A = this chain, B = another copy of it.
Amino acid sequence: MIKGIMPPITTPFERSEIAYDKLEQNFAKWNKTPLSGYVVMGSNGESVFLTREEKLRLVDAAKKNMDSGKILIAGTGSDSIKETVSLSNDAADRGADYVLVLTPSFYKEEMKSGAFVRYFTEAADRIKIPLIIYNVPRFTGVNIEVDAVATLSNHGNIAGLKNSSENMAHTAEIIGSVPRSFSVLVGTASVLYPGLAAGAAGGILALANIAPRECVEIQRLFDTGKHNEASKLQTKLIRANKAVTSRYGVPGLKVAMDMLGYFGGDPRSPLAPLCDKDRKDLKSILKTAGLVD
């Protein structure tokens, strides 16, 4: 079972090419924290801007630089089952422990439970390592329903779900509908504590790129029954989390990394770097949250 906190790591670019040395520096810092593992090629990794070769090189780089005690999850999903299977198996060969597979989403009107069950069943049947379903309505425009997750949770090679919806009714109903061995991971730090309280196993959190210890601390407080403290820390981090996710997106997360001693750098085009005003606002939000001085 997958547990704990994992960042979907950003992909560092210099002059628009992947900067592997910067990635190494970031890993050196993250490795010292109690993070459970890493996700490469997630939404915050600008996966959609990478070529197939770049993706596989990223898996290699992560494997080489990460603490061997942690797990490695590779984001490999696209609408094409054929390509998803092929890329997933290549990632597995390079050492990924799990693949994180986005719901297909292009034909939105047809992407209902039946299509999701077909897609993930066929993919999981043919991928060598366990698959984690990735639901992120904000980016895909589709939302996987409880019944589809319930059905898929019984597949031997589907290990869990990353649910980036902030709708706690949805997450809680899913948790009530799947076996205990199926890991439901929240997808944003804003709902980490309520998610854990509802039975989630952990989270894949953009915020864990810049505040790994604080995210892990929420889970430790929860695990030791310190609900009030967990709730307080949760509340303190919400605005910071919103700033590096929905408000300022990946460009904001990267600026925050630069402010916190990691290498963030610029996003790849067509994303644009944050303007000065937004940088200032972001800094002020991170200060209020106690993340920067």
Chain A: residues with CB nearer than 8 A to chain B? Answer: 43, 48-52, 78-83, 86, 104, 106-111, 114-116, 118-119, 122, 138-139, 141, 166-170, 172-173, 175-176, 188, 190-191, 193-194, 197-199, 225, 227, 231, 234-236, 238-239, 241-242, 246, 249-251, 268-272
Contacts and interface: CB of A to CB of B under 8 A. Distances in A.
**Interface residues of A, dominant DSSP:** helix
Contacts of A250: 107
Nearest to A79: B48
Nearest to A49: B80
A249 B111 CA distance: 11
B106 A270 contact: no
Contact of A82 (B51, B116, B190): B51
A188 B91 CA distance: 40
A85 to B, nearest CB: 10
B169 A81 contact: no
A166 B173 contact: no
A208 B198 CA distance: 21
Given A80-B51, A118-B270, A139 B108 contact: yes
Given A115-B270, A172-B190, 5 more contacts: A108-B139, A110-B272, A114-B272, A173-B238, A176-B238
